[in-house]
Chains A and B, each alone.
Chain A
């Protein structure tokens, strides 16, 4: 089964600075989707960004971008110009595009603190 690993339980960043959150995954598949979700204190998981494995171009959404390294099975999230509202838990997730059992698999999360 596919596994998702987030090796940084906690990270902190100074307001307006840039931070990168790490995510690696284990799979033998070639077609899949990767996601980053944000969970603020309100507890609702919000989709931040997603990447299709067959696309080489890294996805970007405003201040959020990813560094997708398919060969290395790495999918890091870069947050530029960090804002206080970015403080949250961030979860990396994997979803197969090949398997009928394609339920989303999550990492354990990284807690991001933004310092004013």
Chain B
């Protein structure tokens, strides 16, 4: 059983839709992350929240909007996406961002398809 839960597991949306991805962690961690995983490419870090504060936004287009209401929950709001945004979106958590020896704990991901 995973300590990081992501919903939905699959999502198909049109380019004009608005949807949200949800992530919840039950590990007492203080840092949460959104990664994008595309085929045959390294995982791309999108956003980092440390103690509910956004600490990184790696040049992600504004059609992706993160929200972190508390240390246990993380959302990724999606609107006006493009087909190239289709990918597996992974949420992860760690004790805190600066704990370099603390591994990331991942959820099962949301497989997003933009039509």
Contacts and interface: CB of A to CB of B under 8 A. Distances in A.
Given A9-B40, A108-B41, A47 B101 contact: no
Interface residues of A, number: 28
Contacts of B92: 45
B66 interface: no
B90 interface: yes
B104 interface: yes
Interface in A75-106: 91, 95-97, 100-106
A8 to B, nearest CB: 12
Interface string A43-55: 1111100101000
A112 interface: no
Interface in B30-75: 33, 40-43, 45, 48, 56
Contacts of B43: 91, 106
B61 to A, nearest CB: 19
Nearest to A35: B103
- Chain B, interface size category, equals 20 to 34
Contacts of B41: 108
A64 interface: no
B101 A33 contact: yes
Contact of B42 (A9, A101, A107): A107
A44 B111 CA distance: 12
A29 B88 CA distance: 31
Contacts of A47: 103-105
6 closest Cβ pairs, A-B complex: A45-B106, A106-B43, A97-B100, A43-B109, A106-B42, A47-B103
25 contacts: A4-B42, A32-B100, A33-B100, A35-B103, A43-B90, A44-B2, A44-B107, A44-B108, A44-B109, A45-B104, A45-B106, A50-B103, A52-B101, A95-B100, A95-B101, A100-B98, A102-B98, A103-B48, A103-B97, A104-B104, A106-B43, A108-B41, A108-B42, A109-B40, A109-B42
